[in-house]
Structure 1
Amino acid sequence: MNAVQADQASVTQTPGWRRMMPLWILLVLFSLPVMAAWWFYLNPDQLPTGRKNLGELIEPVVALDERFALRQADGAAFDPAQLHGKWTLVTLSSTGCADACRGQMVDMRQIRLAVGEGRYVVERLLIVPQGLSVDATAEEFPGMHVALIGPEALQSLQAQLPGPDSADSRMLIMDPMGNLMMAYAGDAPAKHVLRDMEFLLKASRNWVKGAGYGHR
């Protein structure tokens, strides 16, 4: 048997689980920040600060996926997967982006800047009903994603959020796997959202750092 045949035989004899091992390792590493954030959020006593969430946990989480048929301003499909891997500040408006909504747009921009280096893993998303013009809002807040949602999908989404909350506009937090996991009342102060974002980002960093030490 020559060297080439020996190599081929070795590959053939390698168990399937060993060949898949690198893929499983990558999947686990990708999910660590989300798992860490959830663990520390549900067990805040595990962090030295001992802070508790100021928003309301969405239980169960709501995956922002193709069920809601989100659209871009030009009518093309909006793919929420483009936000995966990042924490996303979301403003959900049921009547268009009026004064309250625009105020939350400003708040989201300031919150993202306030988390310092964490801003590189924080995105912003505005969800408004279909049929509304959002060009001016998009131009005023560069870097913000905008998605349009149909009336039935909007009603379905709102029904899955904790409440009741009669506000026309409210803020949410979406985790890096595309799940809406935290909701705020329409009149919640921006500093509450900022504290929760700082908590989530810190929890993610601590978990990743600890995992790194454990694999040295």
Structure 2
Amino acid sequence: MATATPLEVPEHSKPRARGRLQLLLILLVVLGPMVLATSMYKLKFWVPDGRSYHGVMIGNGESLSDLGVAGQDERWQLLVSTPTACAEDCQRLVYLARQIQVGLGRDASRASHALAAAQPASADYQALLGREYPQLQRYPLDAQRYLQKVGEAGPQLWIVDPHGNLVLRYDAKVDGKHVLDDLRHLLKLSNIG
């Protein structure tokens, strides 16, 4: 009769220990990422500081009507807004909005460009818009409501989604390449419009 020494493990406990180790590893693989992601969200660690967009993100559900604009398109929209008549900076943004739409290439039909101004443009600029910008949509703008929301008197360029929600805002000094990059990224991620 053989006797077991204290260093030897009985044969019947080896499969049980291996099964427990496998169960522990499976639980770790399945539950580990969920616990890590929840901890990162709640405790705000390992959260990247960078961002992939260039404008000011409007993430609070504001729409065109909140901005004081009466009108909407069912496509992505590059909207130029000004609480006054469309002066030099505004005219630059109108030109830039059209160029960005053209720059979208095959996705150009998914976007439009528009102007929302509180005051009518001069007769010369109206004629230029009719001749050079035939697809430009024009909307009235409630200047008081606009200034309450935006707080800036200068012209702004907005990216608006097909549901009329404000997505990104840019000031008059924006680089058109940055707006084009942002809009391309949005169109790539979006199934609407």
Name the TM tier (shorter chain). Answer: 0.5 to 0.7
SS in 1 for 2:112: strand
2:161 to 175, 179, 182: 175
- Shifted more, 102-111 versus 129-138: the winner is 129-138
Residue in 1 aligned with 2:127? 136
* TM score, norm. by length of structure 2: 0.64
Aligned residues: 142
Whole-Å separation in 2 of the counterparts to 1:65 and 1:165: 17
2:62 aligned counterpart, secondary structure: strand
**Residue 186 of structure 1: CA displacement?**
2.1
Alignment-derived partner of residue 29 in structure 1: none
1:64 to 2:56 alignment: no
Max Rg structure: 2
Equivalence map 1:24-43=2 (5 Å): none
Contact kept, 8 Å, 1:165 with 1:186, in 2: the verdict is no
In structure 2, do the counterparts of structure 1 residues 198 and 67 end up closer, same or farther at CA, with 3 Å as the change threshold?
Answer: closer
Contact 2:67 2:149 (8 Å CA) reproduced: no
One-letter amino acid of the counterpart of residue 176, structure 1:
P
2:139 is the counterpart of 1:147: yes
CA RMSD, 1 decimal: 2.8
Instruction: Call closer, same or farther: CA 1:155–1:66 in 2, change over 3 Å.
Output: closer
2:21 is aligned to: none
SS of the equivalent of 1:95 reads coil
Q: Give the TM-score normalised by structure 1.
A: 0.57
Identity percentage of aligned residues? 27
The equivalent of 1:20 in structure 2 is: none
State how 1:1-216 maps to structure 2 within 5 Å: 52-65=52-65, 68=68, 70=70, 79-80=71-72, 83-84=73-74, 86-133=75-122, 135-139=126-130, 140-149=132-141, 153-161=142-150, 165-166=152-153, 168-204=154-190
Change (3 A) 1:170 1:69: closer
Task: Judge conservation of contact 2:69–2:139 (CA < 8 Å) in 1.
Answer: no
Cα contact 2:117–2:140 (8 A) shared by 1: yes
Listed one character per residue, the Cα deviations across residues 172-203 of structure 1 (whole Å, up to 9, x for unaligned) are 11001011121012211111111100110111
Per-residue deviation, residues 56-78 of structure 1 (Å, max 9, x unmatched): 111313212398373xxxxxxxx
Consecutive unaligned residues of structure 1, counting only runs of 5 or more, are: 1-49, 71-78, 208-216
Runs of 4+ residues deviating >6 angstroms: none
